[in-house]
Protein backbone atom coordinates (compact mmCIF):
# COMPACT_ATOMS: atom_id res chain seq x y z
CA UNK A 1 0.00 0.00 0.00
CA UNK A 2 1.30 3.48 -0.89
CA UNK A 3 1.57 5.84 2.09
CA UNK A 4 0.27 9.12 0.65
CA UNK A 5 1.48 11.10 3.64
CA UNK A 6 5.17 10.19 3.35
CA UNK A 7 5.54 9.25 -0.32
CA UNK A 8 7.74 11.95 -1.96
CA UNK A 9 5.67 11.97 -5.15
CA UNK A 10 2.47 12.75 -3.29
CA UNK A 11 4.21 15.32 -1.10
CA UNK A 12 5.52 17.08 -4.19
CA UNK A 13 2.10 16.95 -5.85
CA UNK A 14 0.45 18.29 -2.68
CA UNK A 15 2.86 21.20 -2.39
CA UNK A 16 2.36 22.01 -6.06
CA UNK A 17 -1.42 21.98 -5.69
CA UNK A 18 -1.16 24.12 -2.55
CA UNK A 19 0.99 26.71 -4.33
CA UNK A 20 -1.41 26.72 -7.28
CA UNK A 21 -4.35 27.22 -4.92
CA UNK A 22 -2.62 30.18 -3.26
CA UNK A 23 -1.97 31.79 -6.62
CA UNK A 24 -5.47 31.17 -7.91
CA UNK A 25 -7.03 32.46 -4.71
CA UNK A 26 -4.95 35.65 -4.80
CA UNK A 27 -3.68 35.20 -1.25
CA UNK A 28 -0.75 37.53 -0.50
CA UNK A 29 2.05 35.47 1.01
CA UNK A 30 5.29 37.49 1.23
CA UNK A 31 6.26 40.15 3.74
CA UNK A 32 8.72 43.03 3.34
CA UNK A 33 8.57 44.93 6.64
CA UNK A 34 12.23 45.71 7.37
CA UNK A 35 12.29 49.25 5.98
CA UNK A 36 9.19 50.68 7.64
CA UNK A 37 7.98 51.57 11.12
CA UNK A 38 4.87 53.13 12.60
CA UNK A 39 4.87 56.47 14.41
CA UNK A 40 1.69 56.78 16.50
CA UNK A 41 -0.23 60.02 16.06
CA UNK A 42 -3.32 59.10 18.12
CA UNK A 43 -3.59 56.13 20.48
CA UNK A 44 -7.06 56.30 22.05
CA UNK A 45 -9.44 56.10 19.10
CA UNK A 46 -12.73 54.21 19.22
CA UNK A 47 -12.97 52.47 15.84
CA UNK A 48 -11.60 55.18 13.50
CA UNK A 49 -13.07 55.49 10.03
CA UNK A 50 -12.32 58.62 8.04
CA UNK A 51 -9.25 60.85 8.40
CA UNK A 52 -7.79 63.85 6.59
CA UNK A 53 -4.84 66.14 7.19
CA UNK A 54 -5.80 69.82 7.29
CA UNK A 55 -3.68 72.67 5.95
CA UNK A 56 -2.51 73.66 9.44
CA UNK A 57 -1.03 70.20 9.99
CA UNK A 58 -3.83 68.98 12.24
CA UNK A 59 -5.45 65.60 11.73
CA UNK A 60 -9.22 65.44 11.51
CA UNK A 61 -10.74 62.00 12.08
CA UNK A 62 -14.08 60.31 12.71
CA UNK A 63 -15.02 57.63 15.20
CA UNK A 64 -17.77 55.27 14.16
CA UNK A 65 -19.59 55.79 17.44
CA UNK A 66 -20.54 59.27 16.17
CA UNK A 67 -17.72 61.62 17.17
CA UNK A 68 -15.22 63.74 15.25
CA UNK A 69 -11.90 65.02 16.61
CA UNK A 70 -9.03 67.24 15.54
CA UNK A 71 -5.49 66.52 16.70
CA UNK A 72 -3.31 69.60 16.37
CA UNK A 73 0.33 69.57 15.34
CA UNK A 74 1.01 70.16 19.06
CA UNK A 75 -0.77 66.89 19.94
CA UNK A 76 -3.76 68.56 21.61
CA UNK A 77 -7.10 66.87 20.97
CA UNK A 78 -10.32 68.83 20.34
CA UNK A 79 -13.81 67.39 19.89
CA UNK A 80 -15.71 68.82 16.92
CA UNK A 81 -19.15 70.22 17.68
CA UNK A 82 -22.22 70.53 15.52
CA UNK A 83 -22.55 67.04 14.06
CA UNK A 84 -26.03 65.99 12.88
CA UNK A 85 -28.10 63.23 14.45
CA UNK A 86 -26.16 59.99 13.84
CA UNK A 87 -27.33 56.40 14.39
CA UNK A 88 -24.31 54.45 15.62
CA UNK A 89 -25.50 50.87 15.29
CA UNK A 90 -23.67 47.83 13.94
CA UNK A 91 -21.48 49.00 11.07
CA UNK A 92 -23.21 52.37 10.92
CA UNK A 93 -22.22 55.65 12.53
CA UNK A 94 -19.93 58.49 11.54
CA UNK A 95 -17.90 57.12 8.65
CA UNK A 96 -15.68 58.55 5.91
CA UNK A 97 -14.25 62.09 5.68
CA UNK A 98 -12.86 63.71 2.53
CA UNK A 99 -11.66 67.19 1.61
CA UNK A 100 -12.83 69.10 -1.45
CA UNK A 101 -10.05 69.17 -4.09
CA UNK A 102 -10.00 72.99 -3.67
CA UNK A 103 -10.28 72.84 0.12
CA UNK A 104 -7.53 75.43 0.58
CA UNK A 105 -9.81 78.02 -1.04
CA UNK A 106 -13.34 76.90 -0.22
CA UNK A 107 -12.97 74.99 3.09
CA UNK A 108 -15.51 72.28 2.29
CA UNK A 109 -15.23 69.01 4.26
CA UNK A 110 -17.37 66.05 3.12
CA UNK A 111 -18.46 63.27 5.44
CA UNK A 112 -20.65 60.16 5.42
CA UNK A 113 -22.87 58.98 8.26
CA UNK A 114 -25.89 56.82 9.04
CA UNK A 115 -28.85 59.18 9.29
CA UNK A 116 -32.31 58.53 10.77
CA UNK A 117 -33.88 61.28 8.66
CA UNK A 118 -36.48 60.36 6.04
CA UNK A 119 -38.85 57.47 5.52
CA UNK A 120 -38.78 54.25 7.52
CA UNK A 121 -37.40 53.05 10.83
CA UNK A 122 -33.68 52.78 11.40
CA UNK A 123 -31.18 54.69 9.27
CA UNK A 124 -29.43 54.89 5.94
CA UNK A 125 -26.31 56.47 4.48
CA UNK A 126 -26.15 60.24 4.09
CA UNK A 127 -23.46 62.39 2.49
CA UNK A 128 -23.02 65.94 3.80
CA UNK A 129 -20.56 68.79 3.64
CA UNK A 130 -19.65 71.53 6.10
CA UNK A 131 -16.94 74.01 7.00
CA UNK A 132 -14.86 73.88 10.16
CA UNK A 133 -14.57 77.05 12.22
CA UNK A 134 -13.23 77.08 15.78
CA UNK A 135 -13.82 73.31 16.07
CA UNK A 136 -17.47 73.75 15.07
CA UNK A 137 -19.10 72.47 11.87
CA UNK A 138 -20.86 75.31 10.08
CA UNK A 139 -22.80 75.81 6.84
CA UNK A 140 -23.84 72.15 6.87
CA UNK A 141 -25.59 70.78 3.79
CA UNK A 142 -26.93 67.26 3.28
CA UNK A 143 -26.13 66.41 -0.35
CA UNK A 144 -27.65 62.94 -0.54
CA UNK A 145 -29.67 60.70 1.74
CA UNK A 146 -30.41 57.10 0.76
CA UNK A 147 -33.94 55.88 1.33
CA UNK A 148 -35.83 54.25 2.83
CA UNK A 149 -34.23 53.68 6.21
CA UNK A 150 -33.46 50.17 7.39
CA UNK A 151 -33.12 48.65 10.84
CA UNK A 152 -30.33 46.40 9.56
CA UNK A 153 -26.99 47.40 10.96
CA UNK A 154 -24.60 46.58 8.15
CA UNK A 155 -23.30 47.45 4.66
CA UNK A 156 -23.43 51.25 4.69
CA UNK A 157 -20.53 51.57 2.21
CA UNK A 158 -19.73 55.25 2.76
CA UNK A 159 -16.36 55.87 1.07
CA UNK A 160 -15.94 59.24 -0.66
CA UNK A 161 -13.68 60.48 -3.47
CA UNK A 162 -13.43 63.11 -6.23
CA UNK A 163 -12.33 62.63 -9.83
CA UNK A 164 -10.17 64.98 -11.94
CA UNK A 165 -13.23 66.89 -13.15
CA UNK A 166 -14.32 67.63 -9.59
CA UNK A 167 -17.27 65.21 -9.48
CA UNK A 168 -18.09 63.74 -6.09
CA UNK A 169 -18.32 59.92 -5.84
CA UNK A 170 -19.52 57.87 -2.88
CA UNK A 171 -20.59 54.32 -2.10
CA UNK A 172 -23.65 52.92 -0.39
CA UNK A 173 -23.68 49.20 0.41
CA UNK A 174 -26.58 46.81 -0.12
CA UNK A 175 -27.66 47.16 3.55
CA UNK A 176 -27.88 43.38 3.76
CA UNK A 177 -30.69 43.22 1.19
CA UNK A 178 -28.68 41.57 -1.57
CA UNK A 179 -31.59 40.06 -3.49
CA UNK A 180 -33.47 43.36 -3.94
CA UNK A 181 -31.31 46.47 -3.94
CA UNK A 182 -28.03 46.04 -5.88
CA UNK A 183 -29.58 45.13 -9.26
CA UNK A 184 -32.45 47.64 -9.15
CA UNK A 185 -31.61 51.20 -10.27
CA UNK A 186 -34.94 52.41 -8.88
CA UNK A 187 -33.64 51.72 -5.36
CA UNK A 188 -30.76 52.98 -3.25
CA UNK A 189 -28.13 50.55 -2.00
CA UNK A 190 -25.42 48.47 -3.64
CA UNK A 191 -24.37 51.42 -5.81
CA UNK A 192 -21.66 53.96 -6.56
CA UNK A 193 -23.07 57.49 -6.90
CA UNK A 194 -21.86 60.65 -8.65
CA UNK A 195 -22.83 64.25 -7.92
CA UNK A 196 -21.55 67.74 -8.49
CA UNK A 197 -19.67 68.99 -5.44
CA UNK A 198 -22.78 70.92 -4.30
CA UNK A 199 -25.12 67.94 -4.60
CA UNK A 200 -26.60 68.64 -8.02
CA UNK A 201 -27.17 65.67 -10.36
CA UNK A 202 -24.78 65.74 -13.35
CA UNK A 203 -26.69 65.95 -16.62
CA UNK A 204 -24.61 63.12 -18.11
CA UNK A 205 -25.18 60.62 -15.29
CA UNK A 206 -26.17 57.31 -16.89
CA UNK A 207 -29.76 57.06 -15.68
CA UNK A 208 -30.96 60.68 -15.68
CA UNK A 209 -33.39 60.00 -18.55
CA UNK A 210 -34.98 57.03 -16.78
CA UNK A 211 -37.97 58.47 -14.95
CA UNK A 212 -38.03 55.70 -12.35
CA UNK A 213 -34.29 55.54 -11.62
CA UNK A 214 -32.26 57.12 -8.84
CA UNK A 215 -30.56 59.82 -10.89
CA UNK A 216 -27.39 59.97 -8.77
CA UNK A 217 -26.44 56.34 -9.53
CA UNK A 218 -23.24 55.95 -11.55
CA UNK A 219 -22.76 52.15 -11.32
CA UNK A 220 -24.62 49.29 -9.67
CA UNK A 221 -24.37 45.64 -8.65
CA UNK A 222 -22.06 46.29 -5.67
CA UNK A 223 -22.07 44.64 -2.24
CA UNK A 224 -20.30 46.87 0.30
CA UNK A 225 -17.54 49.12 -1.10
CA UNK A 226 -15.29 50.33 1.73
CA UNK A 227 -12.36 51.46 -0.38
CA UNK A 228 -12.33 54.21 -2.98
CA UNK A 229 -9.53 56.20 -4.62
CA UNK A 230 -8.80 58.24 -7.73
CA UNK A 231 -6.11 56.82 -10.01
CA UNK A 232 -3.37 59.49 -10.12
CA UNK A 233 -2.74 59.16 -13.87
CA UNK A 234 -6.04 58.17 -15.48
CA UNK A 235 -8.31 59.93 -13.00
CA UNK A 236 -10.60 56.86 -12.91
CA UNK A 237 -12.31 55.95 -9.65
CA UNK A 238 -11.20 52.59 -8.26
CA UNK A 239 -13.07 50.79 -5.49
CA UNK A 240 -12.84 47.61 -3.53
CA UNK A 241 -15.73 45.86 -1.86
CA UNK A 242 -16.35 43.09 0.60
CA UNK A 243 -17.47 39.77 -0.72
CA UNK A 244 -19.22 37.40 1.69
CA UNK A 245 -16.97 34.38 2.33
CA UNK A 246 -14.53 35.12 -0.47
CA UNK A 247 -15.03 37.22 -3.54
CA UNK A 248 -13.63 40.53 -2.25
CA UNK A 249 -13.15 42.67 -5.36
CA UNK A 250 -11.17 45.56 -6.81
CA UNK A 251 -13.08 47.35 -9.56
CA UNK A 252 -12.49 50.29 -11.88
CA UNK A 253 -15.77 52.18 -11.90
CA UNK A 254 -17.26 53.07 -15.28
CA UNK A 255 -20.43 54.91 -16.16
CA UNK A 256 -23.64 52.87 -16.05
CA UNK A 257 -22.02 49.45 -15.70
CA UNK A 258 -23.34 46.50 -13.70
CA UNK A 259 -20.72 44.89 -11.43
CA UNK A 260 -22.76 41.76 -10.90
CA UNK A 261 -23.60 41.41 -7.21
CA UNK A 262 -25.22 39.04 -6.29
CA UNK A 263 -25.85 37.39 -9.67
CA UNK A 264 -22.15 36.65 -10.14
CA UNK A 265 -19.55 36.30 -7.41
CA UNK A 266 -16.43 34.39 -6.42
CA UNK A 267 -17.74 34.13 -2.86
CA UNK A 268 -20.09 31.84 -0.98
CA UNK A 269 -22.42 32.26 1.99
CA UNK A 270 -20.85 32.48 5.44
CA UNK A 271 -22.32 29.07 6.30
CA UNK A 272 -20.55 27.49 3.31
CA UNK A 273 -23.57 27.20 1.01
CA UNK A 274 -23.73 28.83 -2.42
CA UNK A 275 -26.04 31.68 -3.44
CA UNK A 276 -24.91 31.65 -7.10
CA UNK A 277 -23.31 29.08 -9.36
CA UNK A 278 -21.74 31.54 -11.80
CA UNK A 279 -18.81 33.95 -11.78
CA UNK A 280 -19.34 35.38 -15.28
CA UNK A 281 -22.36 36.71 -17.13
CA UNK A 282 -22.73 38.81 -20.26
CA UNK A 283 -23.41 42.43 -19.39
CA UNK A 284 -21.77 42.17 -15.97
CA UNK A 285 -18.26 43.35 -15.19
CA UNK A 286 -15.47 41.09 -14.01
CA UNK A 287 -13.42 42.42 -11.10
CA UNK A 288 -9.96 43.73 -11.83
CA UNK A 289 -8.76 41.58 -8.91
CA UNK A 290 -10.41 39.40 -6.29
CA UNK A 291 -9.47 37.73 -3.03
CA UNK A 292 -10.78 34.28 -2.23
CA UNK A 293 -10.84 33.58 0.67
CA UNK A 294 -11.67 37.06 1.86
CA UNK A 295 -9.19 39.49 3.42
CA UNK A 296 -12.03 41.91 4.36
CA UNK A 297 -10.55 44.98 2.64
CA UNK A 298 -11.04 48.46 4.09
CA UNK A 299 -9.36 51.63 2.90
CA UNK A 300 -7.20 52.01 -0.21
CA UNK A 301 -4.74 54.51 -1.60
CA UNK A 302 -2.52 54.95 -4.64
CA UNK A 303 0.99 55.70 -3.40
CA UNK A 304 2.44 58.76 -5.15
CA UNK A 305 4.77 60.09 -2.45
CA UNK A 306 8.55 60.09 -2.81
CA UNK A 307 8.72 59.02 0.84
CA UNK A 308 7.98 55.42 -0.17
CA UNK A 309 10.18 54.59 -3.18
CA UNK A 310 9.43 50.84 -3.03
CA UNK A 311 5.68 51.42 -3.00
CA UNK A 312 5.34 54.43 -5.28
CA UNK A 313 3.12 53.82 -8.29
CA UNK A 314 1.23 50.97 -6.65
CA UNK A 315 -1.96 50.48 -4.63
CA UNK A 316 -2.16 49.88 -0.87
CA UNK A 317 -5.18 48.09 0.62
CA UNK A 318 -5.95 47.47 4.29
CA UNK A 319 -7.22 44.16 5.66
CA UNK A 320 -9.67 44.01 8.55
CA UNK A 321 -9.52 40.22 8.76
CA UNK A 322 -5.75 39.76 8.90
CA UNK A 323 -4.57 43.13 10.22
CA UNK A 324 -2.11 43.85 7.44
CA UNK A 325 -1.45 46.15 4.49
CA UNK A 326 -1.39 44.61 1.02
CA UNK A 327 0.64 46.25 -1.74
CA UNK A 328 -1.10 45.54 -5.04
CA UNK A 329 1.53 45.99 -7.74
CA UNK A 330 0.30 47.66 -10.89
CA UNK A 331 1.26 47.53 -14.52
CA UNK A 332 -0.84 50.09 -16.32
CA UNK A 333 -4.45 49.45 -15.44
CA UNK A 334 -3.88 45.94 -14.08
CA UNK A 335 -2.98 44.37 -10.74
CA UNK A 336 -0.23 41.89 -11.55
CA UNK A 337 0.86 40.72 -8.09
CA UNK A 338 0.59 41.50 -4.39
CA UNK A 339 2.48 41.21 -1.16
CA UNK A 340 1.94 41.93 2.51
CA UNK A 341 4.17 44.88 3.39
CA UNK A 342 3.17 45.56 7.01
CA UNK A 343 1.44 43.07 9.29
CA UNK A 344 0.32 42.63 12.92
CA UNK A 345 -1.30 46.06 12.82
CA UNK A 346 -4.73 45.14 14.14
CA UNK A 347 -7.87 45.45 12.02
CA UNK A 348 -6.96 48.04 9.39
CA UNK A 349 -9.87 50.41 8.91
CA UNK A 350 -8.33 53.00 6.59
CA UNK A 351 -5.13 54.05 4.83
CA UNK A 352 -4.56 57.50 3.30
CA UNK A 353 -1.73 59.50 1.73
CA UNK A 354 -1.91 62.93 3.31
CA UNK A 355 -0.80 66.34 2.04
CA UNK A 356 2.50 66.02 3.93
CA UNK A 357 3.40 62.98 1.79
CA UNK A 358 3.10 60.51 4.67
CA UNK A 359 0.85 57.48 4.70
CA UNK A 360 -1.49 57.32 7.69
CA UNK A 361 -3.09 54.07 8.81
CA UNK A 362 -6.04 53.74 11.21
CA UNK A 363 -6.79 50.50 13.04
CA UNK A 364 -9.58 49.20 15.23
CA UNK A 365 -7.15 48.67 18.10
CA UNK A 366 -7.40 52.40 18.72
CA UNK A 367 -4.45 53.84 16.84
CA UNK A 368 -3.80 56.24 13.99
CA UNK A 369 -0.16 56.18 12.93
CA UNK A 370 1.95 57.40 10.09
CA UNK A 371 4.29 55.09 8.25
CA UNK A 372 7.97 56.00 8.29
CA UNK A 373 10.41 54.66 5.71
CA UNK A 374 13.62 53.81 7.59
CA UNK A 375 15.89 52.42 4.90
CA UNK A 376 19.19 54.33 4.45
Average pLDDT, the chain: 92
What pLDDT was estimated at residue 73?
Answer: 85
d(CA 101, CA 360): 19
Catalytic machinery residues: 155
Q: What is the DSSP letter of 337?
A: E
What pLDDT was estimated at residue 30?
Answer: 61
- Per-residue pLDDT tens digits for 159-185: 999 999 999 999 999 999 999 999 999
d(CA 69, CA 115): 19
Number of H helices, E strands in the chain: 2, 24
- Per-residue pLDDT tens digits for 204-261: 999 999 999 999 999 999 999 999 999 999 999 999 999 999 999 999 999 999 999 9
The class of domain 49-294 in CATH terms is mainly beta
What is the helix (H) or strand (E) element at residue 23, kind and residue range? helix 8-25
d(CA 157, CA 223): 8
Q: At 321, is the pLDDT very low, low, confident or very high (cuts 50, 70, 90)?
A: very high
pLDDT higher than threshold 50 for residue 16: no
Q: Please, how many CA atoms are within 13 Å of residue 59, restricted to the half-sphere of its CB?
A: 30
Which is more confidently placed, 333 or 282?
Answer: 282
Would you kindly state where each structural domain of the chain is located, as residue ranges? 1-30, 49-294
Please provide residue 362's backbone torsions phi and psi, each rounded to the nearest 5 degrees: -115, 135
Strand-by-strand arrangement of the 225-230 sheet: 225-230, 237-241, 248-252, 289-291
Amino acid sequence: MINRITNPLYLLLGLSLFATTLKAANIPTSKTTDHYRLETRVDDVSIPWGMVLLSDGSLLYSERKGAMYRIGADGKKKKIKGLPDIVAKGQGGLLDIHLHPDYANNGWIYYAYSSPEGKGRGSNTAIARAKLKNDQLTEQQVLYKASPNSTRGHHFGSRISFDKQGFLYFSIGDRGDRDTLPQDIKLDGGKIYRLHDDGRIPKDNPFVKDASAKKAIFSYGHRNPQGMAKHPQTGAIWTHEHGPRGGDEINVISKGLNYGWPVISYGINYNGTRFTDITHKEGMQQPLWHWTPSIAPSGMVFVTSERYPEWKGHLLVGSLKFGYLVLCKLEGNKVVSQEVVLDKLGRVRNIIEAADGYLYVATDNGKIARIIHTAP
